[in-house]
Chain A
Amino acid sequence: MSNLIVLPMAVPVLAGIILVFFRNQVQIQRWISLIVMLANAGLAIYLLNLIQAEGVMRLDFGGWEPPFGILFVADSFSVILVLTTSVVAAVCLLYAFSSIGKRYENMFFYSFVNFLVAGVNGSFLTGDLFNLYVCFEIMLLASYVLIALGGKKAQLRESIKYVLVNVISSWFFLIAIAYLYGSIGTLNMAHISERIAETGQAPLLTVISIVFLTVFGLKAGLLLYFWLPGSYSVAPTAVAALFGGLLTKVGIYAMIRVFTLFFYHEPSISHSLIGVMAALTLIGGSIGAVAYKDIRLIVSYNVVIAVGFILVGLAVATPAALEGSIYYLMHDMIVKTLLFLLAGTMIAVTGKTKINEMSGLIRNYPLLGWMFFIVMLSLAGIPPFSGFIGKVLVGQGTVEAGSYVLLTLAFISSIFVLYSLLRIFLGCFWGETIISIEDKVPMKRGWLFPSILLTFATIGLGLGAEFLAPYVSDAANTLLDPEVYIDAVLYE
């Protein structure tokens, strides 16, 4: 029992409410939001170490013992993701300070970023299935506002579709919860897991698991990613980076949690289906990434490829593969945010969005070019950077499980990632410069600084993988052995 677990959700909610009253004091809004994110990051590090010492922690709200009340459960997996979320959100805020503009800042932009982060952290930490739904909705409502904020034609047009897709998928989520409650009679996640293990996973439960798979597939962009490139490419850079880093990852988290804690008894059905969906996602995402000339669309399709790659790890579900998925999830949250920020900066300095409209940017903005180069290597999985360890472990897992098709597709998709980004690099950074010295838009320090921070984060995550190993392997062990989670929630 520790009241600290609720803070990653409670503090951003409170901050978001307080910021509403400081509508015109932009400086106060900026500093409060940034301090909240940094405090969350610090808290997450402290909790992560506490979990290593004391095991999985929980907090029963209102003193209602599980399985009767709503509760928060913090295991290594959740807290690692809370930590990464806080870092990503802090960097996006730093970028927003110099790019988003006063119009947004006066219209409660920072409040909604706080609400979004609260929803994301709540989803990671909750131990109750219905509460997961509620936290998802908090996150989605904030994202509806953030995506439409600004009121450009394209934004409004895409936001309508984005909201409708998410309303329908939330409806499926509600229905899935109702079915599960009707057949199992509980909503506490540990209790559900225990009851399914007792009664065995009957065909009815497997069908329910497929409904859950559909829901999280829509939210995470697994196979059902048709809505993703359109809506991610219209938002302002700081928001797109936040979405690219966080939103689909919550869907992935929920999928990994549900299929390792509840529905792990029939892997030949549910996990094979995840494998097929992941394979198709990798193929579709790769085709999308090389098909377009618009940088924002290429970057959005790279999000799709990463979703497929992470869930290959879940589909084979060996210890190595799950560890790899967790590493890759952290890596992807950081590097995708960085990629969106760099792409947004390129568009901001040139005013163009297509590859063939820019060239020679490296002469004007060398640092931007080299950072893009590092991101490219990191996403392709070249050793000193953070993508490497995740790819190796997922690869090892697929070999152990003997699913060579997934192995092949996962690694071919890396080549497509490399190719799609190399096209941007060659097209936009090499060649004769299109910007004369007089017309050059001065690079703001506030644009480069957040990207530099994340570049160091990806190098640090690559070189410091050894340092993170105990946390990640603890997270994977908890996922693979539901007993640990159940004991911590129900029997302590």
Chain B
Amino acid sequence: METLITILTGILVTVATYLILTRSVLKVILGTAILSHAAHLMIMTMGKGLKSGSVPVLVDGQETTFVDPLPQALILTSIVISFAVTAILLVLAYRTYRETGTDNLYELRGNKHE
């Protein structure tokens, strides 16, 4: 299970890298969103024993083998943050498009001739 998720993480990072290296601002933003999903999956695999443990609650006061709950708490926090960042980035990109009339990163370089 860990191997599968690691491979999936790798694929997501590849896709995200491709998107981030494109010229369109919108694709770059989608790339960052996918990148954050890859990070979340990776944090989850760091919890160890994805399928071997049960939910982290005591059953009849007995300790059983359970999945590490901490990575899931981290992921939850991280999802909220990446949601906020993506939202502000989208607004910023829209506003930049309205002001400068382009969503091409090459034209947003800001050289001397403006």
Contact = CB atoms under 8 A, between A and B. Distances in A.
A179 B46 contact: yes
A151 interface: yes
Contact of A187 (B32, B70, B114): B70
B88 A145 contact: yes
Interface stretch (A21-29, A156-164, A246-254, A470-478): A156-164
Given A157-B108, A164-B32, A171-B35, A148 B92 contact: yes
Interface in B76-103: 77-78, 81, 84-85, 88-89, 92-93, 95-96, 99-100
Interface in A132-167: 134, 137, 141, 144-145, 148, 151, 153-154, 156-161, 163-164, 167
Nearest to A166: B85
Contacts of A171: 32, 35-36, 39
Given A137-B85, A230-B110, A153 B100 contact: yes
A159 B85 CA distance: 13
Given A158-B110, A163-B89, A174 B32 contact: no
Contacts of A174: 36, 39, 43, 78
Contacts of A355: none
A482 B114 CA distance: 52
Interface residues of A, number: 31
A110 to B, nearest CB: 19
A65 B6 CA distance: 33
A419 interface: no
A16 to B, nearest CB: 15
Interface residues of B, number: 32
Contacts of B95: 148, 151, 156
B32 A157 contact: no
Contacts of B110: 154, 157-158, 230
Nearest to A186: B70
Given A145-B88, A181-B71, A153 B39 contact: no
Contacts, number: 86
A168 interface: yes
A167 B83 CA distance: 12
A178 B43 contact: yes
B32 to A, nearest CB: 5
A167 B85 contact: yes
A257 B39 CA distance: 24
Give the secondary structure class of B's interface.
helix
Interface in A320-341: none
Interface string B12-41: 000000001000010010001001100100
B88 A144 contact: yes
Interface in B36-85: 36, 39, 42-43, 45-46, 48, 70-71, 74, 77-78, 81, 84-85
Contacts of B100: 153, 156-157
Contacts of A181: 43, 46, 70-71, 74
Given A157-B96, A174-B43, A130 B77 contact: yes
A164 to B, nearest CB: 7
B96 A178 contact: no
Given A171-B35, A171-B36, A178 B25 contact: no
B85 to A, nearest CB: 6
Which of A141, A145, A161, A170: most chain B Cβ within 10 A? A170
Contact of B85 (A141, A153, A230): A141
Which of A141, A144, A167, A171 counts the most chain B CB atoms within 10 A?
A: A167
Nearest to A158: B110
B59 to A, nearest CB: 21
A182 interface: yes
Report which residue of B84, B105, B110 has the largest number of chain A beta carbons within 10 angstroms of its beta carbon. B110
A287 interface: no
Nearest to B35: A171
A17 B68 CA distance: 35
Contacts of A163: 85, 88-89, 92
A167 B86 CA distance: 9
A242 to B, nearest CB: 19
A175 interface: yes
A475 B18 CA distance: 45
Contacts of A144: 85, 88, 92
A181 B71 CA distance: 9
A136 to B, nearest CB: 10
B32 A151 contact: no
A167 B89 contact: yes
Nearest to A172: B39
- 5 nearest A-B residue pairs (beta carbon): A182-B46, A156-B96, A178-B43, A174-B39, A178-B46
Interface of B: 20, 25, 28, 32, 35-36, 39, 42-43, 45-46, 48, 70-71, 74, 77-78, 81, 84-85, 88-89, 92-93, 95-96, 99-100, 105, 108, 110, 114
24 contacts: A130-B74, A134-B77, A134-B81, A144-B92, A145-B88, A148-B92, A151-B95, A153-B114, A154-B114, A156-B100, A157-B108, A158-B110, A159-B96, A163-B88, A170-B85, A171-B39, A178-B39, A178-B46, A181-B70, A181-B71, A181-B74, A182-B48, A187-B70, A230-B110
